[in-house]
Amino acid sequence: MPPFPARTPRESQHETSELMLPQDANNLGHVFGGVILSMMDKAAAVAAIRHARATCVTASIDRVDFREPIHVGDLVVMKASVNHVGRTSVEVGVRVEAEELTSGRRRHTNSCYLTFVAVDRNGRPLEVPPLRPETPDEVRRAAAAVERRRRRLEERDAESRRAGAAPPPRDGDGLGPPDSHAPPDTRPSFA
Ligand SMILES: CC(C)(COP(=O)(O)OP(=O)(O)OC[C@H]1O[C@@H](n2cnc3c(N)ncnc32)[C@H](O)[C@@H]1OP(=O)(O)O)[C@@H](O)C(=O)NCCC(=O)NCCS
Label residue 129 by pLDDT band (50, 70, 90).
very high
DSSP notation for 55-75: -EEEEEE------S--BTTEE
**DSSP states of 20-49:** --GGGB-TTSBBPHHHHHHHHHHHHHHHHH
Q: Where are the domains of the chain?
A: 9-164
**Is it the case that residue 187 has pLDDT exceeding 50?**
no
Distance (angstroms) between ligand 1 centre and the Cα of 21 equals: 34
Nearest-CA residue for ligand 1 atom 17 is: 89
CA-nearest residue for atom 48, ligand 1, is: 191
Which residues have CB under 6 Å of ligand 1? 57-60, 86-89, 115, 117, 119, 123, 125, 152-153, 156, 191
pLDDT at 166: 56
What pLDDT digit, counting tens, does each position of 148-175 carry? 999 999 999 999 999 986 554 444 333 3
The region of weakest confidence among 1-5, 127-131, 175-179 is 175-179
Per-residue model confidence as pLDDT tens digits over 87-121: 999 999 999 999 999 999 999 999 999 999 999 99
pLDDT in tens, 36-66: 999 999 999 999 999 999 999 999 999 999 9
Q: Ligand 1 pocket: which of 87, 89, 147, 161 to mutate (most atoms <8 Å of CB)?
A: 89
Check residue 172 and give its pLDDT: 37
Whether residue 85 has pLDDT greater than 80 = yes
Residue nearest to atom 20 of ligand 1 (CA): 59
What CATH class does 9-164 carry?
alpha beta
pTM score of the predicted model: 0.87
d(C-alpha 158, C-alpha 151), whole Å: 10
Tell me the CA–centroid distance for residue 126 and ligand 1, in Å: 11
Q: Dihedral sign for Cα 138, 1, 51, 158, please.
A: negative
Mean pLDDT over all residues of the chain? 89
